[in-house]
């Protein structure tokens, strides 16, 4: 009997993503990145109408962040400009944080769910992003990433 009102628990999704991406990396090594990016494009294609058409990439990223929160992927999320063509991406308790951290620590490639969606969204603006440094895993559950947005 479920004690979660019939909803999937975040821990289950986290464990599932860990197992799937651990296995994928063991089978295809660095080609796991192809799965990360392709899965983001597939999911973005499905949700883009929910996000809506926006002519500004920064506003579109904020809308995507809101969608991720609404879907229960994160407890809190914020996208903010920190300079010319630079953003800071702050997530609190994304449901895959534990698996992502373990996969990174074991030198494997994590699912990068929100990142792959961000890349698919930026593609609509003929843009891409480059991470500045590594993600910072805070003790309070926040993950902080800094990105440089680049016009292709």
Count of C-beta atoms within a 10 Å radius of residue 57 = 20
For residue 2, what pLDDT is reported? 56
Compute the distance between CA of residue 101 and CA of residue 135 in angstroms, rounded to an integer: 10
Class of domain 10-151: alpha beta
Residue 74 to residues 31, 108, 126, 152, Cα–Cα distance (Å): 27, 22, 27, 29
Of residues 109 and 4, more confidence is placed in 109
Query: d(Cα 149, Cα 28) in Å, to the nearest integer?
Result: 29
DSSP string, 54-85: -S-HHHHHHHHHHHHHHTTS-SEEEEEEEETT
Give residue 54's pLDDT.
86
Residue 12 dihedral angles phi and psi, to the nearest 5°: -65, -45
pLDDT digits (tens, 9 = 90+) for 68-113: 999 999 999 999 999 989 999 999 999 999 999 899 999 999 999 9
Domain boundary assignment for the chain: 10-151
Strands 76-83 and 142-151 turn out to be unpaired
Contacts of 133 (CB under 8 A, 6+ apart): 146
pTM of the predicted model as reported, rounded to 2 decimal places: 0.91
């Amino acid at each position: 009997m479920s004690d979660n009102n019939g909803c999937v628990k975040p821990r289950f999704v986290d464990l599932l993503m860990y197992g799937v991406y651990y296995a994928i990396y063991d089978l295809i090594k660095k080609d796991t990145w192809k799965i990360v990016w392709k899965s983001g494009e597939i999911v973005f294609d499905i949700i883009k109408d929910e996000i809506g058409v926006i002519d500004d990439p920064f506003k579109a990223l904020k809308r995507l962040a809101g969608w991720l929160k609404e879907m229960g992927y994160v407890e809190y999320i914020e996208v903010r400009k920190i300079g010319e063509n630079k953003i800071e991406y702050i997530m609190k308790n994304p449901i895959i944080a534990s698996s992502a951290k373990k996969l990174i620590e074991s030198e494997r490639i994590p699912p990068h769910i929100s990142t792959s969606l961000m890349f698919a969204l930026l593609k609509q603006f003929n843009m891409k992003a480059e991470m500045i440094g590594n993600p910072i895993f805070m003790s309070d559950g926040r993950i902080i990433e800094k990105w440089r947005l680049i016009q292709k």
